[in-house]
Each structure stands twice: as C-alpha cells, then as structure tokens.
Amino acid sequence: MNPVLECLIKKIGGGAAGVLSMFALLLLLLLSLSVSAVAQPRDEYAVKAAFVFNFAILTEWPAIPIPGPKTDLLLCVVGGGDLPKAFESIEGKKIGERTLHVVAVDKGVTLPDCQIVFYREEVSTEDLVRTLYAVKGKAVLTIGDKSNVTKLGGAIHFFTDNGKLRFAINPGVISAQGLKLSSRLLKIATLIED
C-alpha cells in the first residue's frame, strides 16, 4: 500500500466520519494534481464547484445554531449573474446531516443567511469588499476566484500554478470567522498570512 495513503488511514481512524473525510481529502488531492488551467470555463467551474463542496465537508462550523432549518447550508454565488451549471450540480447534496442549497446573488444585493460564499471572477471589488465586510466575524466560509479575496478578508482563493488549479487559505480569517478546517486540508493548501 502507498505509504502516504497508509499514513492518512491511520490518522483518520475508522467510522463513517473518517471515511467521508478521507474521501473528500483524496478527491481534493486528485483535483489539485490533475486540473489544467487551460480547461474550458465550464470545466473549470465544475472543478471549482467540487472543491467548494469538499471545502464544506472539511469545515467545522461553531456550535451556535445556523439560521434556518438545522439541516440546511446555503452557498451563495456572487458575481456574473446566472448560476454556473456546475454549481447547480451540487444543489441538494448532503454534507453530513445538512443539505446544501445554492443560490446566485445579484450584485448590490445584501447576502442572505449564507454559510458559504463563492465570489466569481466577475464580482466587482466594491461588491467584494461590501459583502466581505457584511460577513466579517460571522461563521461564513468565503471563497473566491480572485487573489484579492484573501487580501481583502476572505478565507480561500483559487489560483493557477504551472497550469494546475490550486487554492490558498488564510488561517487567520478562518479562525476569526469561528470556523475550523481539517488539518489535512491545510496541509495541501498554500497558506497565507493576513
């Protein structure tokens, strides 16, 4: 057996949660190693939607009640108008006991009770700053296409490196939002400081 895989299995342990975490992490590793930056935009959003879904699986929200039904998580996609088809494909998927719902949010609109926000490349800096400020200090995972997402107070941004799609995480923002990410996820990310 591959020594890296063997080590992961030992650290994760057994049980359904361990298996789900390992599956999500392995999927993220595969995606990060195999995605070409020259992919068609539709394919790129399919990969980003898969990453966002797996980030949600590997995120622990605080024990405070989430607004709305206990079983729901709301992913708001900001910028660019219509919801990309790839994000429609993760609508209704389960994350633990919760169901993920995905909505497009028009520019200038105040964010509803989102637990995850994905900023498309098309989002204006003004809308980015306004919405990041609106969720500052709240248990909201913020993810974006632009590198300035993390510079302006977001948690995660996508970037390309040698033709591969990668992601950077700002652990300070994650902590300030009251969230916890899997340590295994942090190990495969590029970590940036405030």
In the chain, where are the structural domains located?
3-191
Phi, psi of 132 (to 5 degrees): -65, -40
Report pTM: 0.77
Is the dihedral angle over the CA atoms 178, 187, 40, 20 positive or is it negative?
negative
Please report, rounded to a whole number, the percentage of residues in the chain having pLDDT higher than 90: 49
Q: Tally Cβ neighbours within 10 Å of residue 30.
A: 11
- pLDDT, residue 180, reads 96
The whole-chain average pLDDT of the chain stands at 79
Mean pLDDT of 75-90: 87
Q: 162-166, long-range: CB within 8 Å, 24+ apart, which pairs?
A: 163/36, 163/37, 163/38, 164/32, 164/33, 164/34, 164/35, 164/36, 164/37, 165/31, 165/32, 165/35, 165/36, 165/37, 165/44, 165/47, 165/48, 165/51, 166/32, 166/190
The dotted CATH code for 3-191 is 3.40.50
pLDDT, tens only, 132-151? 998 999 999 999 998 789 99
Nearest to 128 by CA among 151, 101, 160: 151
d(CA 86, CA 13): 32
Contact 107, 123 (CB under 8 A): yes
Mean pLDDT of 75-83: 84
């622990």: which residue's tokens?
A: 60
pLDDT, tens only, 156-169? 999 999 989 999 99
pLDDT, tens only, 22-78? 545 444 444 443 444 344 455 788 999 999 999 999 999 887 555 555 668 999 998
- pLDDT, residue 5, reads 40
